[in-house]
Amino acid sequence: MFREGPATTASPGKASLDTRYGLLGALLIAPTVLVFCAVIVYPLISAIYLGLFSIYTPTMEGEWVGMDNYRRLLASGEFWRSLLNNVIWTVGTLALQVIFGILVALMLHRNLVFRAFARSLVLFPYFLSTVVAVLVWRWLFNDLYGVLNHLLMWAGIVDMPVDWLGTMPNAMVSLILVGAWKYFPFVVIAVLARLQSIPDELYEAASIDGAGAWGRFVDVTLPQLRDVLIVVVLLRTIWDFKEFDLIYLLTGGGPIIGTQTLPLMVYKEAFALNQMGGASAVAVLMMLIMLLFMILYLSRARD
């Protein structure tokens, strides 16, 4: 860190070059830092600050209440129920995304007629707007004219249309399935990219050792995928945990608060109940939970 005197005198040009480079580096990062401060740090600090007030959203006026918002939240069943829902949704949809993602990636890695077209079709749900995905699924789920119910009735699996989104546990199951459908291609992309870079020699060596298809998968493929999966799971956990659009548009958190996750609770507090302070407090708690998760996960993954 500290440069000793003689070294500086020995190469005066290098020192000034270092300083100049440092300045240039700072200059290049400056726009990023500015934008971060303006659109992320400032709103973040105001969220923490607002959490200490009781504020009526339309006027944005209110009074200091200290930790009252937090006390109220932690004592309310609704916060804990939303957290539980959040965990159920995240774990459920993530598990399906990863399992299904790996399987489909393995499938698409093999020789398949029209493979490029098949890949495009599979990856497409990920790039689809959430709004579009939800609309399409709501139309599929429709009670009177939805094709899904009619297929199931035609196949004799059910004899009455199923209420996919309005009752529990159907609503949570539907949500998890639609989430998995929408986001598993992300896992496919990552795994597929990694599969393509596994050297064939590894498989050949395993074959020579007498490993079958399953053995090769367990001994060669899975260990090679480990690093990718660690990052994929981290990213998807964060994104799924804070998912708003999909849940809000598909079930709105209902029935009752059966599928209400923390982001929906923030929105409800802020705009339905017009309590900006409470909303900010939920958001801050949510952030703390995610931070805790990330620290634990990263320290575990490093081992």
Using CB under 8 A as the binding rule, the residues of this chain from 16 to 75 that contact other proteins are 21-22, 24-26, 28-29, 31-33, 35-36, 38-40, 42-44, 46-47, 50, 56-60
Q: Which is nearer to other proteins, 205 or 289 (CB)?
A: 289
Any contact of residue 143 with other proteins (CB under 8 A)? Answer: yes
Compute the 3-state secondary structure of the chain and give helix, strand, coil in percent, each to the nearest 5: 75, 5, 20
Q: Which is nearer to other proteins, 202 or 255 (CB)?
A: 255
**SS3 category, 75:** helix
Query: Could you say which of 87, 189, 205, 211 contacts other proteins (CB under 8 A)?
Result: 189
Q: Which is nearer to other proteins, 117 or 209 (CB)?
A: 117
Place of tokens 């409800």: 268
- Minimum separation from the CB atom of position 25 to other proteins (A): 3
Q: Which is nearer to other proteins, 91 or 257 (CB)?
A: 257
| Pairwise CA distance, residues 173 & 92, whole Å | 9
* Strands, E assignment, 16-107: 53-56, 61-64
Using CB under 8 A as the binding rule, the residues of this chain from 69 to 128 that contact other proteins are 104, 107-108, 110-113, 116, 118-125, 127-128
Using CB under 8 A as the binding rule, the residues of this chain from 200 to 219 that contact other proteins are none
Q: Residue count at the site for other proteins (CB under 8 A)?
A: 116
189 in Cβ contact with 102 (< 8 Å) = no
| Pairwise CA distance, residues 118 & 137, whole Å | 21
- Minimum separation from the CB atom of position 133 to other proteins (A): 8
DSSP 239-256: HHHT--HHHHHHTTT-ST
Any contact of residue 169 with other proteins (CB under 8 A)? Answer: no
Any contact of residue 271 with other proteins (CB under 8 A)? Answer: yes
**SS3 category, 92:** helix
Q: What are the two backbone dihedrals, phi and then psi, of residue 63, each rounded to the nearest 5 degrees?
A: -125, 160
